Amino acid sequence: MPAPFPLHLIGNAHLDPAWLWPWTDGFAEVLSTFRAALDRLAEYPGFVYTCAGACYYQWVEETAPDMFEEIRKYVREGRLVPVNGWWLQPDCNAPCGESFARHSLYGQRYFLEKFGRACTVGYNVDSFGHNAMLPQILRKSGMDSYVFMRPGPHENAAVPRLFFWESPDGSRVTAFKIFEPYNISSPADFDAAAAKALDAARELGNPMMLFYGVGNHGGGPTISLMNHITRRIETPGNRETFPEGENLLFSSPERYMASVDGKGLPVWRGELQQHAIGCYSAMLTLKQLNRRAETGLLAAEAADALAAMLLGGAPKTGAIADAWKYVMFNQFHDILGGCSIRKACDDAILSYGCAISAAGGIQNSALQRVAWSIDTLGDSNLPNSKEEDWKLWGLADKGTPLVVFNPLPFDATLPAEAAGGIKRVTDSGGNCLDIQRVRGPMTDGENHKWSTLFVARLPALGYATFWLHKNEAGAETAWKGGDCEQHPAPLTTGGGDSLTTGGVSAREAAGNREQVPAPLKSGGNSMSNGFLEVAFDPQSGLISGIKDVLTGAEHLKGPAPAALVIDEAHGDTWGHGLREYRDVAGRFEKVSAEWTERGPLRATMRGSFAYGGSTLVQDVSLYRDFGYIDISLTINWRERHKLLKAEFPVNAGEAAAEVTAEIPYGFVSRGMDGREYPIQRWIDVSGGGRGLTVANDSSFAADVLDGALRVTVLRSPIYADHYGKRDELCEFTEQGERKVRFRLIPHAAGPQSAGAVNAAMELNAPPTLVYASYHKGPLPLRGKGIDISAPNVLAAALKGSEDAGGWILRCYEARGTAAKAEISLPYLQRTFTADFGPCEIKTFLIPASASEPVRETDLPESAGKIWIKRLSPGDGLWNRVIGYAQNCSWGAGPILAARMRENGFTDWESVFAALGGDGQIAGFCTLEKKDIFPELPYTPYIGFVFVGEAYRGKRLSQRLCGEAIAYAGELGFGKVYVGSGHAGLYEKYGFAKIGGKMAPWGEMQGLYEYDMER
């Protein structure tokens, strides 16, 4: 008798577009693999093929359009099943939260456009670990389930095979962990794996999936394997050949997930780690470029949107999407993970450059447009003429206008460096600001190599105009060179234009206590401001102490940052089989130390260090106005099979210390166990009433043990070495000069009191300066783009809607506390409120028309074409929908139900695609589900598409029929038949009538054929 729990066979071909080969080879493999899969689909009628990644389908579409039409045919039939509505299978720890949103945005929209359906199953079978926010991201992308393989049982035995995975906000997906390889390719391996899987199904009380097909370099199911599987399916119970009682079926992950009985499944909360720990520090160059590209594209997109809001015109959504596609491709786990051959890494560097260059061009165009529209002339009548300086346009003591743009979604006070030779800097109110001469990027002559440092108070996603003066009139607080301890302007805490530090007010960063204005002092072996006293060890050249000025609390218990060299010759590029990097081979030792800056605004101690053939230059800077310390490292790395860590021994009471680190769109708490974990822009160690947050500009891994935080800076394994033969021809990664930056934020309590997210954003997204001239314009000297009342709610992205006619704002709750936020967009004169749960992501559509309300949408901006709730045969909602369809359309409802049950489809997008297999639609029925099915989210109207020789149905409103027929057009059907009751209506939807015929039944007496090709 058949087994009670079937084994769903998933034919697939895992495709690494680049790894041990360049992406051009991967491109060719995608084409060849799809051709092989299409041949197998034609040869074996029951075969079902699964493939993930919109990128691959686009390659086929652009290169082999005839083959792409074959793919569309099998997708409509439900036999070729796209999964993972992302651009491809990325690393699932290193990309930022918004990168995952873009994978969904561009991936799901591609599937909707080309196949009329979105993916409902997330699918990352080869990624090395999975961050804890993915269930929410998947849900808000239209996916309610997830398939993965790592970590394996030897890496984290606690992870179940089949379970509900829950993110911190409470979102859940059904998760399946592949327990046999995804690339089973021989009959013998298949038989052994099938036996294990069937046993597991009986043990779990649920069906199981088994993946088969040659993978990594493509291939898919072979003919010999297909013949073997087909014989097993067709001859079950033959004791002489195959086991009795098996139940094998060709299937897809979607069909499998629909068959899972969720009753009693365990719940896993948090991240799924860890595999290949070295992939979060291999190839620092790629990780720096990824961070820079992500940050640059978000800043460019926001600037582009703001310019369009202020001055009109269409946002550059297409150009931004093209640039994001470079970034998303390079986030493939073997590329961003740094474990590919050198050629693949070099290709990634070039394509990251394309994205960064595109972002820079888009941002510059937008900011120049805004700057040129600011009224910098006022009541003056001065010409644009360079009478007084070769670089600046200033005349008659008015000064040269300098527009400083803030890419951050909160008001921020940020250091800025302008042209050298400046005697005064004033703000738009005429107030004189303190300045400091600092070394600039130029070397052309004594005067040209200096820049002017000042502190700029900037509105959120906005700009402020400052004036650069060449004369000294009124420059009472300007620094004229040498050591200086001038009395600074008073430090204010409070008010709408208050000074901020680390993204929060100075008062909040100091523990909500009164801050005493104090000058910046430096000299000997220490420096201090009104927040911190920083001491240096003259022997080691490192920071020996960081003391809170008011409380006296010491934040370090040892020198920092100690540059530790770790021996990793026993590991491979991935770090397979390892849990930590703690074999200290030595450390960088001091060569020299000197003060390079000792001004009123910033003091910098430079230390030079050496180890083996490598050198390190470390700049430690303290600003007068901020409660943080900046550290810049310039490393000339010549080591092999070595790893560099920056150690910060935190004085946080080890027994009670808590480790918290940023993950995409959230944060996670971890144990202090010395294991290597992935991080994003910050990590914090807190305890004993104090803590230290370390923000970074390019670090993605760290460990903590006994209060000592060790951030991994770089590694130098061999390119793509999996314990291979190491000889003199092997090439090592990361040879040469690298630069990294850290920001230390001491604080009194947990990481949230330090404004960790804001401080890390400030470090990674500095202000942009535009030198202006005199001109009239419609814009004021200062403008603000956004205002969010809740400090724990941050805007992550501001962009033009993909469907045009509006704007998209994405926000998230960043501190784990529910909030009600009032959100204002001054340039649009829009204000609305929203409730955020802890760690919740929300995406808002702001229509261009002010008469239309702001409404929430999903990550792909799908306007309801993606269904979050899966409908299963037999449940209450399914019965109601089918029943309503039967009542509305004689004969159509039963056809719909039968076809759905026959093909195992449980989401309407798949139904639409499957039922249109013959290219014709015989009728439509639409439901105004807002009133009838309120539990189905997002879509105001549902179009049910029915296939049959004749159509009889109740008369429907013109508006609803029109929307249904328009939706069918979007789904890609070639022709549509409509009843005479609506004849002539559809021309307004752009359809051309190409014929007509009469049908002698029902209320719709005439049946007209319309061409859907518009």
Write the pLDDT tens digit of every residue in 609-633.
999 999 999 999 999 999 999 999 9
Q: In the structure encoding, which two tokens stand for residue 236, read together?
A: 């079950």
Residue 54 predicted with pLDDT over 50? yes
d(CA 252, CA 268): 24
Task: State the average pLDDT over residues 105-125.
Answer: 92
d(CA 126, CA 334): 9
Residue 239 predicted with pLDDT over 60? no
β 7-12/208-212 pair status: parallel
* Cα angle for residues 96, 98, 102 (degrees, 5° grid): 120
Q: In the structure encoding, which two tokens stand for residue 580, read together?
A: 């930590």
Packing angle, helices 223-234 and 187-204, rounded to 10: 50
Q: What's the pLDDT score for residue 156?
A: 95
Residue 755 predicted with pLDDT over 60? yes
Q: In the structure encoding, which two tokens stand for residue 803, read together?
A: 């469907």
Residue 769 CB contacts under 8 Å (≥ 6 apart), including other chains: 402, 403, 404, 405, 416, 418
Which strands form 830-836's sheet, in the order they lie side by side?
Answer: 787-788, 819-825, 830-836
Task: State the average pLDDT over residues 179-205.
Answer: 92
Query: Which of the pair, 454 or 446, is modelled with greater confidence?
Result: 454
Q: What's the pLDDT score for residue 982?
A: 41
Confidence band (pLDDT; 50, 70, 90) for 472?
confident
Kindly state the percentage of the chain with pLDDT values over 70. Answer: 78
Q: Please, are residues 387 and 395 in contact by the beta-carbon 8 Å criterion?
A: yes
Residue 979 CB contacts under 8 Å (≥ 6 apart), including other chains: 951, 999, 1002, 1003, 1004, 1005, 1006, 1007, 1008
Residue 754 predicted with pLDDT over 60? yes
d(CA 462, CA 339): 40
Q: What's the pLDDT score for residue 344?
A: 98
d(CA 433, CA 576): 54
Q: In the structure encoding, which two tokens stand for residue 662, read together?
A: 């940023």
Q: Please, are residues 273 and 167 in contact by the beta-carbon 8 Å criterion?
A: no
* Cα angle for residues 346, 351, 354 (degrees, 5° grid): 135
Look up residue 405 and give its DSSP letter. Answer: E
Count H helices and E strands in the chain, helices first: 19, 52
Residue 930 predicted with pLDDT over 70? no
Residue 916 predicted with pLDDT over 80? no
Task: State the average pLDDT over residues 844-870.
Answer: 77
The pLDDT tens digits for 332-378 are 999 999 999 999 999 999 999 999 999 999 999 999 999 999 999 98
Whole-number average pLDDT of the chain: 83
Q: What's the pLDDT score for residue 675?
A: 97
What amino acid occupies position 830?
R
- Using DSSP's 3-state secondary structure scheme, residue 675 falls into coil
Residue 876 predicted with pLDDT over 90? no
d(CA 636, CA 738): 6
- Using DSSP's 3-state secondary structure scheme, residue 23 falls into helix
d(CA 906, CA 747): 51
Weakest-pLDDT range from 16-25, 96-105, 193-202, 836-845: 193-202
Q: What's the pLDDT score for residue 240?
A: 43
Residue 117 predicted with pLDDT over 60? yes
Task: State the average pLDDT over residues 525-531.
Answer: 97
- Please provide the distance, in angstroms rounded to a whole number, between the alpha carbons at the two ends of the chain: 54
Which strands form 526-528's sheet, in the order they lie side by side?
Answer: 521-523, 526-528, 532-536, 543-548
Look up residue 435 and give its DSSP letter. Answer: B
Q: Render 141-176 in DSSP notation, one character per residue.
A: TT--EEEE--S-TTT-TTS-SEEEEE-TTS-EEEEE
Q: Please, are residues 354 and 326 in contact by the beta-carbon 8 Å criterion?
A: yes
Residue 926 predicted with pLDDT over 60? no
Q: Please, are residues 709 and 683 in contact by the beta-carbon 8 Å criterion?
A: yes
d(CA 452, CA 602): 12
Kindly state the percentage of the chain with pLDDT values over 90. Answer: 69
Weakest-pLDDT range from 362-371, 559-568, 975-984: 975-984
d(CA 37, CA 220): 7
Give the 3-state secondary structure of 89-140.
Answer: CECECCCCHHHHHHHHHHHHHHHHHHHCCCCCEEEECCCCCECCCHHHHHHC
Residue 479 predicted with pLDDT over 70? no
β 248-250/7-12 pair status: parallel
The pLDDT tens digits for 960-972 are 344 444 444 444 4
Q: What's the pLDDT score for residue 76?
A: 87
d(CA 381, CA 383): 7
| Closest residue by Cα to residue 369 from 72, 772, 830 | 772
Q: What's the pLDDT score for residue 379?
A: 84
Which range, 482-486, 843-847, 978-982, has the best average confidence (pLDDT)?
Answer: 843-847
Q: What's the pLDDT score for residue 585?
A: 98
The pLDDT tens digits for 716-747 are 999 999 988 899 999 999 999 999 999 999 99
Q: What's the pLDDT score for residue 332?
A: 98
d(CA 614, CA 434): 39
Dihedral sign computed on CA atoms, order 537, 540, 541, 547: negative
| Closest residue by Cα to residue 582 from 725, 701, 692, 718 | 701
Weakest-pLDDT range from 401-415, 432-446, 794-808, 820-834: 432-446
Paired with 535 in beta bridges are 526, 545
Residue 180 predicted with pLDDT over 80? yes
Look up residue 275 and give its DSSP letter. Answer: S
Q: In the structure encoding, which two tokens stand for residue 374, read together?
A: 């600011």
Query: Which of the pair, 804 or 934, is modelled with greater confidence?
Result: 804
Look up residue 4 and give its DSSP letter. Answer: S
* Cα angle for residues 377, 381, 383 (degrees, 5° grid): 85
Task: State the average pLDDT over residues 550-569.
Answer: 96
| Closest residue by Cα to residue 977 from 912, 933, 923 | 923
- Count other Cβ atoms within 10 Å, centred on residue 994: 12
Q: What is the pTM of this model?
A: 0.85
The pLDDT tens digits for 980-998 are 444 444 444 444 444 444 3
d(CA 430, CA 425): 9
Confidence band (pLDDT; 50, 70, 90) for 236?
low
Which residue's entry shows tokens 């609803």?
A: 960
Q: What's the pLDDT score for residue 461?
A: 98
Q: Return the C-alpha torsion angle 354, 355, 361, 362, nearest 10.
A: 150
Task: State the average pLDDT over residues 268-276.
Answer: 96
d(CA 22, CA 331): 15
Paired with 696 in beta bridges are 742
β 49-52/7-12 pair status: parallel
Q: Return the C-alpha torsion angle 159, 162, 167, 169, nearest 10.
A: -140
Q: What's the pLDDT score for residue 958?
A: 39
d(CA 863, CA 843): 12
Confidence band (pLDDT; 50, 70, 90) for 1003?
very low
d(CA 268, CA 164): 6
Provide the H-helix boundaries in 614-735.
none
Confidence band (pLDDT; 50, 70, 90) for 231?
very high
Q: What's the pLDDT score for residue 667?
A: 96
Residue 304 predicted with pLDDT over 80? yes
Residue 276 CB contacts under 8 Å (≥ 6 apart), including other chains: 128, 129, 150, 337, 339, 574, 575, 576
